[in-house]
Amino acid sequence: MLELSDIRAGYADVQILNGVDLALRPATITTVIGPNGAGKSTLFRAIFGLIRVRSGSIRFGAEEITNEKPARLLARGIAYVPQGRNVVARLSVRHNLELGAVTLADQSLVAPRIEAVMDRFPALRQHQARKAGDLSGGQQKLLEIARALLLDPKLLLIDEPSIGLSPNLVRDVFKVLQGLRDAGVTVLMVEQNTKAALAISDDGLVLELGRARMHAPAAQLLADPAVGRLFLGAAIEG
């Protein structure tokens, strides 16, 4: 599915990723956990071509995609939902959705696909004419996820979806992600809310100081006390 080998990347003279290796199983949810500064967001930005990968290679299926532009990656079936608020506030909900499909070659597919995602997220249908900036934080996050689905991605990268959301909404978001996985989409997620995230995940990846320390079934990580200590400074062996 997605294979990273020995990825190194960073900003200016700071290297954040110091050789990350990773291979995702198709149609799974994998949660990346690790203390702040471990390089989780940077990892996503590197995969999605927003910062340059200095060395190493990224393969998607059989294709080499290292340092490809976002527009190309979208066309290959990778979508990315960054952390924070990423709706275009002054455009309506419907138009935000439509922006998710600008790279779609056959524009006649856009309308039916918007219908399809609105079926999945009835709240968006209800508010489709409102400005995206007027939605609540949770609704905005749903909108972003919905927007990422417009191209029918095979791989969804989602960064900290729970930030600023109430527990109920977090549950909703996670349910959506599970639904996607069941529909065959591979999900790679970064999440602070580690326990809840691992609970819905198939696999977990522990990132520390820009390196992948553990890659194991989520249940195994959940049970491992070392994971808890990791956040408080105890290094993980191996």
Can you tell me the distance from the alpha carbon of 54 to that of 24, in angstroms, rounded to the nearest whole number? 21
- How far apart (Å, rounded) are the C-alpha atoms in residues 48 and 82? 10
Q: How far is the CB of 128 from other proteins (least distance, A)?
A: 14
- x-marked contacts with other proteins along 151-180 as a string, rule CB under 8 A: -----------xxx--x-------------
Contact 157, 44 (CB under 8 A): yes
141 lies in the binding site for other proteins (CB under 8 A): no
Contact 188, 24 (CB under 8 A): yes
Given the rule CB under 8 A, which of 55-63, 114-122, 176-184, 222-230 is the region that contacts other proteins?
222-230
Close Cβ partners of 81 (under 8 Å, ≥ 6 residues apart): 144, 145, 148, 156, 157, 158, 159, 161
- 92 closest CA partner among 128, 140, 144: 128
Question: What x-and-dash track marks residues 21-60 binding other proteins by CB under 8 A?
Answer: --------------xxx----------x-x----------
Exactly one of 86, 130, 217, 224 binds other proteins (CB under 8 A); that residue is 86
Query: With respect to other proteins, which residue has the nearer C-beta, 88 or 183?
Result: 88
Q: Is 77 in the site for other proteins (CB under 8 A)?
A: no
Q: Crossing angle, helix 167-182 and helix 137-148, to 10 degrees?
A: 10
Beta bridge partners of 137: none
Angle, CA of 131, 161 and 126, to the nearest 5°: 35
What single letter denotes the amino acid at residue 100?
Answer: G
Stretch that binds other proteins, among 55-63, 66-74, 172-180, 211-219 (CB under 8 A): 66-74
Is residue 12 within the footprint of other proteins (CB under 8 A)? yes
Does residue 220 bind other proteins (CB under 8 A)? no
Residues near other proteins (CB under 8 A) are 12-14, 16, 35-37, 48, 50, 70-71, 74-75, 80, 82, 86-91, 95, 98-100, 102-103, 107, 133, 147, 162-164, 167, 191-197, 209, 227-229, 231-235
